[in-house]
């Protein structure tokens, strides 16, 4: 049984955990992968996910400008700017970055009535 549950960490976080266990604790690669719940072949294989730094930065900037827009509206804005991004990928980035739609304030009432 692994020390970390299967759905608590993504592959990048598991790789970082394996690296930490190997450098800080002196574990062998096989033992560190077992502790992180990762197959050693998966650890050795390079990630095929493209680097999305520019997209993340732009979506954060748009989200801070347009704080009432969700990921669906951001997808439309990004598409207008020339970004060819799938809405599912944008939703994943939106969640990973912790972006949310800010709610409007409530109704103002007079104090003491």
Q: Which two tokens stand for residue 99?
A: 């972006």
Q: Are residues 41 and 82 in the same domain?
A: no
Q: Which two tokens stand for residue 57?
A: 């930065």
Q: Are residues 42 and 60 in the same domain?
A: no
Give the residue numbers spanning the domain of 32: 1-49
Length in residues, the chain: 113
Q: How many domains does the chain have?
A: 2
Q: What is the pTM of this model?
A: 0.62
Is 69 a member of any domain? yes
Is 113 a member of any domain? no
Give the confidence band of 7 by pLDDT, cuts at 50, 70, 90: low
Q: Are residues 14 and 57 in the same domain?
A: no
pLDDT for 44-97, tens place per residue? 998 888 889 999 999 999 999 988 899 999 999 999 999 999 999 999 999 989
Please give the Cα distance from 78 to 95 (Å, whole number): 17
């Amino acid at each position: 049984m692994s020390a970390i549950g299967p759905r608590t960490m993504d592959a990048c976080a598991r790789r970082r955990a394996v690296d930490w266990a190997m450098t800080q604790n002196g574990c062998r690669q096989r033992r560190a992968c077992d502790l992180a719940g990762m197959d050693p072949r998966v650890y050795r294989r390079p990630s095929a996910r493209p680097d999305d730094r520019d997209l993340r930065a732009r979506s954060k900037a748009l989200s801070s400008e347009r704080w009432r827009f969700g990921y669906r509206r951001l997808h439309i804005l990004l598409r207008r700017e020339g970004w060819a991004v799938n809405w599912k990928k944008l939703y994943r980035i939106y969640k990973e970055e912790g972006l949310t739609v800010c709610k409007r304030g409530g109704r103002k009432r007079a104090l003491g009535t």
